Chains A and B, each alone.
Chain A
């Protein structure tokens, strides 16, 4: 019995090998096509991953990544004992959680409301308008924020009508987060609703008709038909968002912050940019990046685990 099995396995091995040779000969073009992208990925995606090991080294440009001396976890302990670490960590988490708490449910609510519009034409017009801010660059968005919150800007005009005095909002610590999160919602609200509307477009209209016959009102239909349809999408996006909690983008903050609001505005990624690129502390900031990635991975992993247990929806 045994030899037969082995020969069988060998045969399939040979067959596989033959298939490979045949393909390489006949369809060599396919391999040529994949080659540029593979080389690209090795250089621009895998080499930086390999470069992460400088987090454990005393990096010197002259010696290169491999030649530099190992220093263990010094770069990490340096981070944890840094004066700035608690501040930037707190700011990052605060800004993220605010964005998440206000910004995450908003597109879901919007999608539910858009879904209740009967006229296709009005629906489309509204979507055209609400997606527009997504296509505007960060520089323009921050330019608008700066203009609108200047002393003679529109936000202060509004304050003035309520009898409040005009203040430079961009220079006030207590308004930075509101401006950051608010402008983020303005820009991302409509766009964020697309994915939910896509999920809703898959709901069969007969479900609603049947519910009508059963005498369900609109609220009941929303709770029992519409919401279950977008629940899996919601769960998955929430898991992904939890993974991004420490990854507050630096582009907008880099343009928005100034010495007056630094205390509340400086986040991990802007700190990495300043210390790493401007201050040339490469190994130290690489260590920060690695630390953030590790934490984010733990977040996504545990959020996924909990979600799989609780709701059967999960990323993997």
Chain B
């Protein structure tokens, strides 16, 4: 309060804070509601008594979903896809971005144009599908990992970041007899940990949440990622697919189908909630903001 404040200014502040609180509630409430539905007594759910805190206690939904082999297969598959996919993305993006970050790399302009074109033009859904089919990638792990592995946007951000690292480091490493591969892995990448962590986490989240490639390219239950398992449990009405939920409920009558569905949602978003603080940390560092600007 360096200068006197008008009454209008104070009213604005009060309204602003009030609105922010309202908005925060709107952002958080759905999560709380899902959590309390997953934990509530089935009878009280039926009577519509559940709001933001659980009514009664009931962990049957969790028992059923955590006891289901489908969920664990889904989890295992997703972890494999996310791990391999993220590793490949980071390695290939770094490999491509490093030469582009060197100003006197002959062919830099050609490679940049070649890359930028893919940012603005794409074949679209059907030609991509036909290609994947022709390459015989359907029902393989690669179909969940390769499409989208290298994106022009990522390469450009990596390149800009590498350019920020002093070129003199590279020059002196050359004089010491190091080659470019050594320089990239021993000097550049260790200095880019924040970048790798940020993009790594985002790629993991992307893989974690992906379900559409699985719908298009996989038709074996044993290969489905966790989002596909979730989809089958949540949207039971889709007539063409077997009702997994009904099968689960036959075994257990003391449970509302909402208990199981909401428990599954919670179980699948917990890993994201665990990663979120780390992503948040990098917001604070401004890596992401800088890269979004660039």
Chain A interface residues (CB < 8 Å from chain B): 19-20, 23-24, 27, 29-34, 36-38, 40-41, 43-52, 54, 110, 113-114, 116-117, 122, 124, 126-133, 135-140, 142-144, 146-148, 152, 154, 157, 186, 189-190, 194-195, 197-199, 201, 212, 217-218, 251, 254-255, 258, 269, 272-273, 276-277, 282, 285-286, 289-290, 293
**Chain B interface SS verdict (over half):** helix
A52 partner, pick from B19, B124, B235, beta carbons under 8 A: B124
Chain A min CB distance to B126 (Å): 5
B-side contacts of A34, CB under 8 Å:
95-96, 99-100, 107, 111
A198–B146 contact, CB under 8 A? no
A45-B118, A140-B268 given; A128·B280 CB < 8 A:
yes
Contact of B124 among A124, A140, A289 (CB under 8 A): A289
Complexed CA–CA distance, A289 and B122 (Å): 10
Question: Contacting B292 at CB < 8 Å: which of A114, A140, A198?
Answer: A198
Query: Is B86 in the interface zone, CB < 8 Å from A?
Result: no
In this assembly, does B53 line the interface, its C-beta being within 8 Å of a C-beta of chain A? Answer: no
Chain B residues, Cβ within 8 Å of A190: 27
In the bound complex, how far is the Cα of B31 from the Cα of A197, in angstroms?
Answer: 26
Q: Which of A48, A144, A218 contacts B34 (CB 8 A)?
A: A144
CB of B59 within 8 Å of the partner chain = no
Q: Which of B2, B95, B124 is within 8 Å of A36, CB to CB? A: B95
Interchain CB contact under 8 A, B235 and A272: no
- A107 nearest CB across to chain B (Å): 12
Give bound CA distance, A54 to B125, whole Å: 13
Contacts of A258 in B (CB 8 A): 237
In the complex, number of A-B residue pairs with CB atoms less than 8 Å apart: 231
Interface residue tally for chain B (C-beta within 8 Å): 92
8 Å CB interface, B98-113 against A:
98-100, 102, 104-107, 111
Of B17, B124, B129, B210, most A-chain CB atoms within 10 Å: B124
Tell which of A34, A43, A110 has the most Cβ of chain B within 10 Å. A34
B105 touches A148 (CB 8 A): no
Report the Cα distance A216→B9, complex, angstroms. Answer: 12
A130 near B122: Cβ-Cβ < 8 Å:
no
- On whether the beta carbons of B230 and A293 are closer than 8 Å, the reply is no
- B residues with a Cβ closer than 8 A to A are 2-3, 6, 8-9, 12-13, 16-17, 19-20, 23-24, 26-28, 30-31, 33-34, 37, 45-46, 48, 51, 92-93, 95-96, 98-100, 102, 104-107, 111, 114-115, 118, 121-131, 135, 146-147, 149-150, 155, 179-181, 184, 205, 208-212, 216, 227, 230-231, 234-235, 237, 258, 261-262, 265, 268-269, 272, 276, 279-280, 283-284, 288-290, 292-293
B3 to A: closest C-beta gap in Å: 5
B124→A133 contact, CB < 8 A: no
A-B residue pairs in contact (CB < 8 Å), sample of 8: A33-B184, A51-B127, A128-B280, A130-B24, A139-B209, A276-B125, A285-B125, A289-B125
Closest Cβ of chain B: how far from A284's Cβ, in Å? 9
Q: Please tell me if the beta carbons of B230 and A27 are within 8 angstroms of each other in the complex.
A: no
Provide the bound-state CA to CA distance between A217 and B3, in Å: 11
Shortest B4–chain A CB gap in Å is 10
Given A38-B114, A143-B265, answer yes or no on A117-B27 (Cβ-Cβ < 8 Å).
no
What residues of chain A lie closer than 8 Å to B51, measured between beta carbons?
A: 154
CA distance A227 to B102 in the complex (A): 37
Docked complex Cα distance between A74 and B230 (Å): 41
Contact check, A147 vs B34: say whether CB atoms are below 8 A apart: yes
B283 touches A127 (CB 8 A): yes
The answer on a CB contact under 8 Å between A40 and B272 is no
Closest approach, in angstroms, between the C-beta of A24 and any C-beta of chain B? 8
| Bound CA span A33–B155, Å | 13
Complex alpha-carbon distance, A163 and B83, angstroms: 51
Sorted nearest first, the 3 A-B pairs with minimum C-beta distance are: A48-B123, A51-B127, A137-B209
| B93, closest chain A residue (CB) | A37
Are B122 and A45 closer than 8 Å at their CB atoms? yes
* Given A113-B19, A194-B292, A201-B289, A137:B180 Cβ within 8 A: no
Q: Nearest Cβ in chain B — how far from A121, in angstroms?
A: 12
